[in-house]
Structure 1
Amino acid sequence: MRLATFTAPGLAESRVGVVDGDMVYPFAAGLSMRKVIDAGLPEAHRLAGQARAQESGRGLDEVRLLAPLRPASIRDSVAFEEHVEGVRRSVDGRSGVPEAWYDAPTFYFTNPHAVLGPDEEALFPASCAVRDFELEVAVVVGRAGRSLSEEQAREAIFGYTIMNDWSARDLQSREMQVSLGPAKGKDFATGLGPWIVTADELDPYRDRDGFLDLACAVTVNNTEVGRDVLSNAGWTFESMIAYASRDSRVVPGDVIGSGTVGNGGCLGELWGRRGAQDPPPLQPGDIVTLTVEGIGTLSGRVGIAEPAPPLSPVRRRDYPAFRRGPV
C-alpha cells in the first residue's frame, strides 16, 4: 500500500490518501500522515479500503504530492561501507573506513523542519559551492519503544520512503573539524517521498538475512550518475531502529535514513575515489532524480538561498583569563 500526502484545486487543506495505480483516494479531512501512523498499520489498511469504496479518486496528474509526513525526528545512518570510504577521503582527506563504523549503525540527527517533497527546490546556502545529493531509503517508525530488540524493531516498522540528504560538502568539510558531525552542511534541506510504501508491501523483497533487495539509481539532468542495490548495506533497518532506541526512545513518525548507497549514490563518494570533482558539483537548476525499486521516484531541483546575515566574530581569550579562584 502506498500512502501519500497531497493537495489539489478545490481542497481547503492537504489530505492523506492511498495511491492505487495512477489514482489517489483521499482519507477523511483532518487526518495527517502522523495521525495515520499513530493509529497503526491495520487501521491504515482499513482507512484505505474505506477511501477506495466511498471516495472519488483523483488522478495523480491532477494533484500535487507533498512530503509524505512531517517527521517527529530524522536520524540518518551510514550503513554502506563503500560510501563511508569514498566520502571520508573526499570530505576530510583520510582513507579507509573508521574501525568504529563496524561497531554499530551510527547516525546523526538532522532538521525535521526543513523537509521537502517531490519536485521542490532545495535552497543551498549561498556560501556553498560544492553541492551534492545523497540517494537513500528511509524507514518510518510506527510504534514507540525504548531499547528495542531487532525482532521488536521489525514489528515497529510502518513503511519506507525515498530520502535525499542534500549536502553542502564544503561547509560539511569545514565544520566536521570540530568533531560534532555535520550541521549546516546538511540541515537546510532533506527530501522525502514520493509517498510511504507500507512494510508489508516490501516484504517480498526481503532476503534471508533481512536486507531489502531493491535496485536504486540516481540521475542528474537525466544522466545516470550512480546505481546500487539496497541489500549491499552493512546494517538492516531493524538494526538501525534498535540502535536508535538503545537507552533512548523512538516514537511513531520518526524517520531513519539508511545512509547513502554506494557506487555513485552521491558525488562526494566519486570525488573521493577519483581524486577530482568528476562529475562536477551540482549547479542551480539541476534536476536530481532518485529511483528505488518497489517505492518510486523522487525528484528535486537545486537552488541557492539568499545570503544569510553575517555572524559576529568569535571572542578569543587566553585560557588563564577564564580561570577564577574560589568564591
Structure 2
Amino acid sequence: MRFATYEQGGQVRAGVVSDAGLHGLPARTTVRDLVRAGLPAALAAGAAALDRPAVPLDAVRLLPPLEAPSVRDFVAFEEHVEGVVAGMGQGAGVVPEWYEAPTFYFTNPHALVGAHDDVPVPPGSQLFDFELEVAVVIGRDGASLTPDQAGDHVFGYTVLNDWSARDLQRREMAVKLGPAKGKDSATTLGPWLVTADELEPYRDHDGFLTLDMRVWVNDVLIGQDLLSNMAWPFEELIAYASRGTVVRAGDVLGSGTCGNGGCLAELWGRRGDQAPPPLQPGDVVEMTVEGIGTIRNRVVPGIELPPVAPARPRPRTRRRTP
C-alpha cells in the first residue's frame, strides 16, 4: 500500500494512493499516525480509505510523505564513495574505516520538500548537486536492535534526493566536520511511502532489494544503479543507527547515494572535470525508483545573502581589562 500527504485547497490531508488517485484518510489522521499504529493497523485503515472517492493526483500538491522526527543519511555505496572522494579533492580510494561499519550523518528534518516542489540553490553555492537514494522509514521504537530484530521495525520505503552544495560541503569537511550547511537546504522525500510488504518480491537471496534506480537532468539520463549494490542491507543500517541509543517510529534513514552517476560529484571525480555541469536555475532533476515511484524537482534561484564573516584574529588576552 502507498500512503501520501498532500495539500488541496489550502488543507493538508493524508491519503492512500491508487490508480484512480488519492483516497483521503479520516480528517486529522497523519501518515506518521499510521506509522506509529503499526503496519497491520495502517493497512486496515488504508483498505477502508479505498472505498472513499479519489482525488486526481494532478489536482493536489504532494508534500513529503510524513513529518520525520529525525533524518539520518548513510553512505552505503562503495562506488559513490570512490568517485566523490576524488571529486571533493580528498585524494583517491576509499578509506579503510568506511569498510569497518556503516557511517551516517544527521540532516535537517525541517528542510524536507515534496516530490514536485521547486528547490532553491543554497545561498553562496556555485556547485549544486543531487543525490539519488532510497530511504527506509522506521515503523516502531527500538533500541540496540539486532539486524534480525530491525527487519520487524521497517514500515516502508520512499525516494530521497539529498540535495548537496558541494562547495559548502568541501569547506566544512576540510575542518573534519559536516556535511552540515552543504546539505542543509533541502531534501526531497516522496512521492509517497510504500509499505514494506509491497517490495518483498524484489528481495534477493542475500536480503537486498534489487530495485532499479535512475536519475535524469533535463530529460537526459545521468545515472542508473541497483539498490542491491549497497554494502549493507537496510536492516544492518537500522541496527547500527539504534546501537546504544533509540530509533523512533517515523525516523527516516537514507541509503546514501547510489553509484554509476547517482550524483554529479561522483562523475566529476571519475572524469576529472565538471561534466555534466553543476545544477543551475531552470534545471529539472527527475528520479525514479522501481516499485516506489518518481520525484521531479525544478531548481530555482536562491536568496541572496551577505558573505559569511571569516574568523577574527585569535585574541591573546587571558583576563578582562579593567
TM range (shorter): over 0.9
* 1:151 maps to 2:152: no
- The Cα of 1:181 is off from its aligned counterpart by 2.1
**Counterpart residue number, 2:138:** 141
Q: 1:112 aligns with which of 96, 109, 112?
A: 109
**Counterpart residue number, 2:291:** 294
- The Cα of 1:297 is off from its aligned counterpart by 0.3
Q: Residues 74-99 of structure 1: CA distance to partner in whole angstroms, max 9, x if unpaired?
A: 00000000000100100133100011
**Counterpart residue number, 2:34:** 36
1:200-215 aligned at under 5 Å gives the runs 200-215=197-212
- The one-letter code sitting in structure 1 at the alignment partner of 2:225 is D
- The one-letter code sitting in structure 2 at the alignment partner of 1:152 is Q
- The Cα of 1:279 is off from its aligned counterpart by 0.6
- The Cα of 1:64 is off from its aligned counterpart by 1.9
- d(CA) in 2 for partners of 1:234, 1:79: 5
**Counterpart residue number, 2:193:** 196
Secondary structure, counterpart of 2:178 in structure 1 = coil
**Counterpart residue number, 2:183:** 186
1:19-58 aligned at under 5 Å gives the runs 19-53=17-51, 55-58=52-55
1:1-327 aligned at under 5 Å gives the runs 1-9=1-9, 13-53=11-51, 55-317=52-314, 321=316
- d(CA) in 1 for partners of 2:220, 2:20: 26
Q: Residues 230-272 of structure 1: CA distance to partner in whole angstroms, max 9, x if unpaired?
A: 1011011011111011011100110000000000000000000
Q: Residues 189-238 of structure 1: CA distance to partner in whole angstroms, max 9, x if unpaired?
A: 00000000000110111111111000000000100000001101101101
The two structures have a TM-score, normalised by structure 2, of 0.96
- d(CA) in 1 for partners of 2:166, 2:222: 17
Structure 2 residues not aligned, in runs of 5+: none
- The Cα of 1:309 is off from its aligned counterpart by 4.0
- The one-letter code sitting in structure 2 at the alignment partner of 1:186 is K
Paired residues in the alignment total: 319
- d(CA) in 2 for partners of 1:66, 1:23: 15
* Contact preservation (8 Å) 2:121, 2:281: no
Q: Percent identity?
A: 56
The two structures have a TM-score, normalised by structure 1, of 0.95
- d(CA) in 2 for partners of 1:81, 1:43: 37
- The Cα of 1:150 is off from its aligned counterpart by 0.4
- The Cα of 1:304 is off from its aligned counterpart by 2.5
- d(CA) in 1 for partners of 2:197, 2:22: 19
Secondary structure, counterpart of 1:158 in structure 2 = strand
